[in-house]
Amino acid sequence: MWAASVFTLYPEMFPGPLGASMAGTALTNGLWALKTHNIRDHGLGRHRAVDDTPAGGGPGMVLRADVLAASLDAATPLGDPRPRLLMSPRGKPLTQEMAREFASGPGLVILCGRFEGVDERVIEGRGLREISIGDYILSGGEIAALTLLDACVRLLPGVMGKHESGDDESFEGGLLEYPHYTRPREWEGRPIPDMLLSGDHAKIARWRREQAEALTKERRPDLWKAREGQ
């Protein structure tokens, strides 16, 4: 079973939205597993301290390497084959290709950062792979972890209604997704394009491809440029 272990100061944030819709049904049906670990359980002293002031000075606090390592080591034994991730704004951007890579494995171990960041030594010492969900700053890694998990869980076998549902979406094949339409045939003077009603599947596939390419060129020239360079 695909299993996720999340290390956080706020375990009550999970499963959150992952407990609803497809991911929640899959979780209930045992298609994947989620376990949270409270980092503060390994905090130091009477107040269970997990952070300290930055070496060299500066604002804010930094999560301690010894506390994080103790939390990780207690719940992920040696030989655990799952990738160890740290949700971090300086990490490698999450992509659909990366989500497929993670979904095809045994699961994930995810550390959620907080405050100013995480002591660099635990990143190095525990082989944490830093992942970002975008060029902006969140209050912590929990929302980023939920996003990453949702992107992976929906790709697991049996989670989506049809296996093909995940094969023709934005970012698959380097393109944004083509426009979708459904009933009514006309709405507020806007009809469904005649091509989609033609019954000619080859022409429909070509139209959808052309639309996807046009949207990608317009909205994501970076994706189009990367595609042209392949």
Residues of the chain with pLDDT under 50: 164
Which among 74, 85, 77 has a CA at the least distance from the CA of 107? Answer: 85
What pLDDT is stored for residue 67 in this prediction? 98
* pLDDT tens track for 66-77: 999 999 999 998
What the chain holds in terms of domains, given with CATH numbers, is: 2-153 (3.40.1280.10), 168-228 (1.10.1270.20)
* pLDDT tens track for 14-55: 999 999 999 999 999 999 999 999 999 999 999 999 999 999
What pLDDT is stored for residue 168 in this prediction? 62
What pLDDT is stored for residue 171 in this prediction? 79
pLDDT averaged over the chain? 95
